[in-house]
Amino acid sequence: MIDIKFLRENPEVVKENIKKKFQDHKLPLVDEVIVLDAEARKTQQEADNLRAERNKISKQIGALMAQGKKEEAEEVKKQVAAQASKLEELAEKEKELNEKVTKIMMTIPNIIDPSVPIGKSDEENVEVQKYGEPVVPEFEIPYHTDIMERLKGIDLDSARKVAGNGFYYLMGDIARLHSAVISYARDFMIERGFTYCIPPFMIRSNVVTGVMSFDEMEAMMYKIEGEDLYLIGTSEHSMIGKFIDTINEEEKLPYTLTSYSPCFRKEKGAHGIEERGVYRIHQFEKQEMIVVCKPEESMEWYDKLWQNTVDLFRSLDIPVRTLECCSGDLADLKVKSCDVEAWSPRQKKYFEVGSCSNLGDAQARRLKIRVKDKDGNKYFAHTLNNTVVAPPRMLIAFLENNLNADGSVNIPKALQPYMGGKEIIK
């Protein structure tokens, strides 16, 4: 959510930003919110003037009573009673107007960084850099679920009977590999100075609306019936929520946290052939990283975060590339975002395994995450998040890039301690 003062003073900048995100249907909202905001401030001023007048009259009542002028005091009291009724009416009007302003402001997209490429959809995202040499072996690589099934590592049929489509049982060495990847990612981030955290897996609605747009919430979140609770779609949600309504000492920033959690997503929409198996599912586990920092440091941290993911994948000999998200592919709260994609030898192309985002002060403004400097001045923090690793997709990249012609899978040295010293899965 952008600052209402900024919108008030720079309506054309906000409109141009909306156009860059190809959301022209939101253009009228800028003028609408300016009118509502002006009316709200006018109402507030009227109420403030009335309160000042009432305080002045109240003092007169005391003076009249002290002088024994009870009849005059009673007449003045009637004025105070009438003003109280008017004040209540103004307060209700002001509340209603402010709620309308907030609702609209929550739908107006954040101002994107000037470096973001302009484009309508993810098809116009821009490749930034490749890391590692993509290899296509001479032998045919099966679909990832076929690899897992041959290693007795997955049971989709039983999962469908128990929970429906979009779920799975991982078994044996594949299940162990899944846990090994998570544990390795945890230690990888701890060694880089991040504090490990296991957050709540459910959050309240005010946190949900603080960390994401309404459209994202509807498409992703599972609601707990009868409770003001949602299952998290990623630990970023509860990790950023950890700082809700806080004032943080500037010298203690940045907060750098890495968190483990299961994730639950509706994943609405049609699923293509490459989204069968464990690519797009309703339940998975993930290691995440989040940063809460000073505004002037957020772009530096943005580069550090995506580099962490690249370094982790390269430590496991998986080729990756970074892809700059274009304006139309950015969620409304994001200032800048990039995807990390892993090489798929079977598909002979890259596919998304993680996403890094700088949200500026949008989440902090919604959740009231403030910073106090040494002089006592307060301002909103900047928040960032990035996927360290999400094993379901990571497993696809891992299995395809480490598969041997005989169907066995090599275990890179970095993962072997987490696999009980195993060097190969047969």
Q: How far apart are CA 358 and CA 354, in angstroms?
A: 14
Reported confidence tier of residue 234, pLDDT bands at 50, 70, 90: very high
Sign of the torsion formed by the C-alpha atoms of 142, 144, 149 and 155? negative
List the 382-389 sheet strands across, edge first: 126-131, 320-324, 336-344, 349-358, 382-389, 283-293, 255-264, 195-197
Task: Tell me the per-residue pLDDT of 126-177, one tens digit each, with 9 for 90 and over.
Answer: 999 999 999 999 999 999 999 999 999 999 999 999 998 889 999 999 999 9
Is pLDDT of 397 > 80? yes
User: What pLDDT digit, counting tens, does each position of 181-212 carry?
Assistant: 999 999 999 999 999 999 999 999 999 999 98
Mean pLDDT of 74-101: 78
Q: Tokens 């402001």 identify what position?
A: 105
DSSP lists the bridge partners of residue 50 as none
Q: What is the pLDDT of residues 327-385, one digit of tens each?
A: 999 999 999 999 999 999 999 999 999 999 999 999 999 999 999 999 999 999 999 99
Q: Helix, strand or coil for residue 15?
A: helix
Using the predicted structure, report yes or no on whether residue 273 has a pLDDT greater than 50: no
Alpha carbon distances (Å) from 398 to 302, 312, 348, 371, 405:
25, 12, 14, 41, 15
The amino acid at 303: D
Average pLDDT over residues 376-401: 95
How far is residue 54's CA from residue 303's CA, in Å, rounded to a whole number?
56
Q: What does the pLDDT read at residue 385?
A: 97
Q: Which of 185, 154, 173, 164 is nearest to 390 (CA)?
A: 185
Which one is predicted more confidently, 75 or 2?
Answer: 2
Look at phi and psi of residue 362 and say left if phi exceeds 0, alpha if psi is from -120 to 50, else beta.
Answer: alpha
Q: Which helix (H) or strand (E) holds 40?
A: helix 27-66
Between 87 and 4, whose confidence is greater?
4
Q: Which amino acid is at 317?
A: D
pLDDT digits (tens, 9 = 90+) for 11-31: 999 999 999 999 999 999 999
* Pair of tokens at residue 422: 């195993």
User: In the prediction, which pLDDT does 275 show?
Assistant: 54
CA atoms within a 13 Å half-sphere pointing along the CA-CB vector of 50: 19
Rounded mean pLDDT of 54-77? 64
Q: Which domains does the chain have, with CATH numbers?
A: 4-105 (1.10.287.40), 122-425 (3.30.930.10)
| pTM greater than 0.95 (yes/no) | no
Please tell me the predicted confidence (pLDDT) of residue 272.
Answer: 47
Give the per-residue pLDDT at 278: 86
> Rounded mean pLDDT of the chain?
91
Strand order in the sheet with 246-249: 246-249, 369-372, 378-380
Rg (CA), the chain: 27
- Split at pLDDT 50, 70, 90, the class of 268 is low
What is the rounded distance in angstroms from the CA atom of residue 235 to the CA atom of residue 250? 24
Q: CB of 83 within 8 A of CB of 54?
A: yes
- The contacts of residue 304 (CB under 8 Å, 6+ apart) are none
Looking at per-residue pLDDT, the higher value among 370 and 65 belongs to 370
The torsion of the CA quartet 230, 234, 236, 238, rounded to 10 degrees, works out to 30
Task: Identify the pLDDT of residue 48.
Answer: 83
**Residue 64: CB partners within 8 Å, gap ≥ 6?**
70, 72, 73, 76
Give the pLDDT confidence score for residue 52 in this predicted structure: 75
Phi and psi at residue 52, in whole multiples of 5°?
-60, -40
Could you identify the residue written with the tokens 């009118």? 35
Kindly tell me if the per-residue pLDDT of 55 is higher than 90: no
Neighbours of 375 (CB within 10 A): 6
Residue 400 has pLDDT above 60, yes or no: yes
The pLDDT value recorded for residue 270 is: 42
| Rounded CA separation 274/144 (Å) | 10
Nearest alpha-carbon partner for 351 in 288, 396, 412, 387: 396
